[in-house]
Amino acid sequence: MAYWLLKTEPENYSYFDLERDGSKVWDGVNNALALKHIRTMLPGDWALIYHTGKERQIMGVTEIVNQPYADPALNEIKRVVVDVRAVRRVSQPVTLSQIKQYDKFRDFDLLRLPRLSVVPVSELYWQYLLELTDSTS
């Protein structure tokens, strides 16, 4: 099982929209490295949904529900998508500012490659992030 962080612009499609819809084709990714990450996703992988823009915070947990496949809206085989399903909102959204406060995240690609829309999350970082979402501070 692998862990991911998927970025979305909340004014276009938010975690709350995903909750309402139940599942969604995760599309619109153009970056070669982000597409490479999508190609390695497997059913049962978990992902954090991160709102970009003014919010800059982790909002929810999702599950990857299928193998990557060619984006049906495009005629380009290199552009792949996966379907995701909403699992749960986080108890406490975790902001980018909070993540930056912890030295243990210094090598996290969310900080190192801030424009990347699909970010792998190590198991250790996943646990740290979930701990922050469950904190009351």
Mean pLDDT, the chain, as a whole number?
95
Q: pTM above 0.85?
A: yes
For residue 76, pLDDT beyond 60 = yes
For residue 22, pLDDT beyond 50 = yes
For residue 69, pLDDT beyond 70 = yes
pLDDT of residue 44: 98
Q: pLDDT > 70: what percent of the chain?
A: 99
**CA torsion 112→62→29→31, rounded to 10°?**
20
pLDDT of residue 136: 47
- Among candidate residues 103, 105, 106, 109, the one with its CA nearest the CA of residue 129: 105
CATH match for 3-134 among 3.40.50.300, 3.90.1150.170, 3.10.590.10, 3.40.630.10: 3.10.590.10
92 Cβ partners below 8 Å, 6+ apart? Answer: 132, 133, 134, 135, 136
For residue 137, pLDDT beyond 60 = no
Mean pLDDT value of segment 87-100: 96
pLDDT tens digits, one per residue of 116-134:
999 999 999 999 999 999 8
Mean pLDDT value of segment 49-58: 97
Q: pLDDT > 90: what percent of the chain?
A: 93
Extents of the domains making up the chain: 3-134
